[in-house]
Structure 1
Amino acid sequence: MVYLKNLTAADFLLCLSLPIRISHYGGTSVIAWQLYCSFGASALFLNMYASIIFMCYVAANRYLKIVRPSGTHVLQSVRTANIVSMVTWVCLLAPSVAYNILFFITQKPLTSIPRHCGLFFSASVSLMFKIIHTFSAIIFLLVSISLVFFYYSTSRRVLQAQQSQLASSEKLVKSRRNMLVLVSIFCVCFAPYHLVRVPFVFLLNSCTVGPVLYYLKEAATMLSVFNVCLDPLVYFFLSKTFWDKVRKASRRANIQQANTESQSTEVKLSIIKSRATSQTSEL
């Protein structure tokens, strides 16, 4: 539950950063581009990789529940989850803050509206930009391998349980389905972005492929932002607390609707009775 809460926080912060990204498309000033290339880019980086890493944590936690159903492993404790989450946010915030500081200290002065953020970069910012995205690609690759491993291991345990006709096979099938949802969302949202992003970073100033990669990168970024819409599926399938709250909310809505209908029925009956009484008195 701790990792799902942090995943929700990452999605919420990403939604808050979207206006900066949207405004730069119709921006007619250098300041709008400066805000986008500094705060907008770092906010997208921070929240995207927070989502990627916390998805991996959620998958690892589900896998540990299968391997260690008793929940005795140290990584399954709430305290450990809080510490891991805090360290993750700090590790993601550090390069984001460093990038923004270096960007504003060394940015190139521009009088016309740039075509891309690379025109603001000094040599030091350009180098830092490439280093950050290289490490980001490595993180994505490691998380991808981890998710495939977790799904493969879960599928293998399901097969073993079905062959042995164990009572827990149905629960394992459900766990495999949840893992498949997580892996599918991860691949759909983040794989295209990284396939385009890494070449774009290193061929940013190329006159031939640079513009093409820019538009591909923007399209892939929009697809990665779509992760915010798909993450509720993760909460729906993986969080029992979330599902219980949805049930309670639907029950509350049904009760309120029933009360409203009963009150309206009583009002109608009282009106009919009053009319009937007035008619009899007139007679």
Structure 2
Amino acid sequence: MVLNCTEIDYVLKRYYLAPSYGIEFCIGFPSNLLVVLGYIFCLPKWHSCNIYLFNLAVSDLIFLCTLPRLSYLYANDQSETCPLACLINRYVLHVNLYSSILFMVWLSMDRFLLIRHPSRNHYLLKPRTALIVTGLSWLAVNVEVAPMIVLMIHDLQSENWNRCKDFASLKGHVNVLGYSLGLTLTGYILPLLGLCGFSHQIAHLLCVQEKALQNRSTSYKRPLRVAASTAVLFLVLYTPYHVLRNVRVASQEAWTGLQVCTKMYIEATYILTRPLAFLHSVINPVFYFFMGDKFKELLEAKFRKLVRMTERQRESI
């Protein structure tokens, strides 16, 4: 069967986006829920690292809750008919997208400072400071995403409130391409440079410490591997999405003079990058076990305690 170029987006949304979002929800939701509940019920003392990780998990959990509806709509070739649901979905999606990498920057900074100040005497390692940084981070991300909501409201009005579009397909009085490029710079490129910078600083500090230890058995390489893996993760997952999103937005401009099929091929390639970018919400829980303070051990201890309590209750019956 030969498809018309205008049918490519329909095929990808129904047979690619729908199952991809469904799988991401099925894997990511339980793991992030476990992390949130684990932090609430198992963590005896909160450090700065735990505050960043907890906010990251909450952000991922809220975002993942939007995927079942998207998956259902794409699978049944339906468009979002509720304007409020459309706005909430796009708002949550982009807030999560940019808060995730921002919180990872603070986590990398936290690991760097902890290696440099093992006694946690630096003011940036204090839980109160972490709460302030977290609040400012949420504020910054909301300020970045706010113009998108204005664009969406204007676009919904022009479509008589019955067609919900993706950010890359919006049109309005605001320069969408300029805004998209600015969001890419402030929300992705600058935080990514921060991640790479802290990874470099951690590597430099570890080299100095290893020389001072003179081949002792203590290893400080895990924080470096985690920080470097984080930078690589966002580089691999976010770069294709942001590049193709900007290309997609630019292709909608009249000055490009692109043919309809060319625009559809660009949109199709952009669609392919979307589940890849959102995959971070599924992978993030891995970092909780490596960057949290004995988080895995705390969960295992809590689980063993629950098992023992269950066995005692059975024996008493």
Tell me which interval the TM-score lies in, with the shorter structure as reference length.
0.7 to 0.9
Number of residues paired by the alignment?
Answer: 260
CA distance in 2, matches of 1:193, 1:145: 17
In 2, Cα distance between equivalents of 1:238 and 1:119: 38
Asked whether the 8 Å contact 2:81–2:162 carries over to 1, the reply is no
Structure 2 match to 1:69? 118
Structure 1 residue aligned with 2:285, among 225, 232, 235?
232
Q: TM-score scaled by structure 2?
A: 0.69
The residue number in structure 2 matching 1:83 is 132
Q: Which runs of 5+ in 1 are unaligned?
A: 268-283
Higher RCO structure, 1 or 2 (CA under 8 Å, sep 6+) = 2
- In structure 2, the residue matched to 1:4 is 53
Within 1, Cα distance between the matches of 2:171 and 2:236? 31
Three-state SS of the structure 1 residue aligned to 2:220 is helix
What per-residue deviation string (whole Å, max 9, x for no partner) do you get for residues 240-267 of structure 1? 252232221342365368669x95xxx9
Give the Cα–Cα distance (whole angstroms) in 1 for the partners of residues 217 and 267 of structure 2.
Answer: 48
Shift of 1:109: 2.6
* Structure-1 residue corresponding to 2:190: 142
Instruction: Summarize deviations over 1:141-169 as a string: whole Å, max 9, x none.
Output: 12222222222222233233333434887
Equivalent runs, 1:11-26 vs 2, <5 Å: 11-25=60-74, 26=76
- What is the rounded CA distance, in whole Å, between the counterparts of 2:203 and 2:56 in structure 1? 25
Following superposition, the deviation at residue 59 of structure 1 comes to 0.6
Amino acid at match of 2:95: L
Q: Which has the greater radius of gyration? A: 1
Number of the residue aligned with 2:171: 121
Contact 2:184 2:242 in 1 (8 A): yes
For 1:114 and 1:80, how far apart are their aligned partners in 2? Answer: 39
Shift of 1:102: 4.8
Between the aligned partners of 2:70 and 2:251, the Cα distance in structure 1 is: 22
Aligned equivalent of 1:109: 159
Q: Is 2:84 the counterpart of 1:31?
A: no
Q: Any residues of structure 2 matched to 1:264-275 within 5 Å, and which? A: none
| Residue in 2 that maps onto 1:274 | none
123 and 158 in structure 1: CA distance in 2 versus 1, 3 angstrom threshold = same
Q: Is it true that 1:155 corresponds to 2:203 in the alignment?
A: yes
CA distance in 1, matches of 2:309, 2:237: 39
Output the CA distance in 2 between the equivalents of 1:104 and 1:80: 36
Task: Give the match for residue 222 of structure 1.
Answer: 275
- State percent identity of aligned pairs: 20
- The CA distance in 2 between the partners of 1:20 and 1:8, in whole Å, is 20
- Measured in 1, the distance between the counterparts of 2:195 and 2:167 equals 33
Q: Residue 20 of structure 2 corresponds to which residue in structure 1?
A: none
Q: Please state whether the residue corresponding to 2:66 is helix, strand or coil.
A: helix
Decide whether the 8 Å contact of 2:168 with 2:248 is kept in 1.
no
- Superposed, 1:185-224 pairs within 5 Å as 185-204=233-252, 206=258, 207-224=260-277
Q: Please report how far the alpha carbon of residue 82 of structure 1 lies from its aligned counterpart in structure 2 after TM superposition.
A: 0.8
Kindly indicate whether the alpha-carbon contact (under 8 Å) linking 1:157 and 1:172 is maintained by their aligned counterparts in 2. Answer: no
Q: Which residue does the alignment assign to 2:180?
A: 133
Query: What are the ranges of 5 or more consecutive residues in structure 2 without an aligned counterpart?
Result: 1-49
Residue of structure 1 equivalent to 2:308: 255
> Match for residue 272 of structure 1?
none
- Check the 8 A contact 1:200/1:210 in 2, yes or no: yes
User: What are the superposed Cα offsets for residues 182-205 of structure 1, whole Å, 9 maximum, x if unpaired?
Assistant: 223323322322232222222235
Matching of residue 41 in structure 1 with residue 94 in structure 2: no
Name the counterpart of 1:245: 298
When residues 14 and 132 of structure 1 are mapped into structure 2, their CA distance, relative to the original with a 3 A threshold, is farther
Of Structure 1 and Structure 2, which has the larger fraction of its residues in helix? 1
Instruction: Please report the TM-score for the alignment, with normalisation by the length of structure 1.
Output: 0.77
Task: Sort the Cα spacing of 1:204 and 1:236 in 2 relative to 1 into closer, same or farther, 3 A.
Answer: farther
Name the SS for the 1:123 alignment partner. coil
Contact 2:52 2:107 in 1 (8 A): yes
Q: What's the secondary structure of 1:69's corresponding residue?
A: coil
User: Is residue 108 of structure 2 the alignment partner of residue 55 of structure 1?
Assistant: no
CA distance in 2, matches of 1:111, 1:88: 32
CA distance in 1, matches of 2:199, 2:169: 43
Task: Measure the CA separation in 1 of the matches of 2:95 and 2:153.
Answer: 18
Q: What SS does the corresponding residue of 1:170 show, helix, strand or coil?
A: coil
Query: Are residues 224 and 117 of structure 1, via their aligned partners in 2, closer, same or farther at CA, if it must alter by over 3 Å?
Result: closer
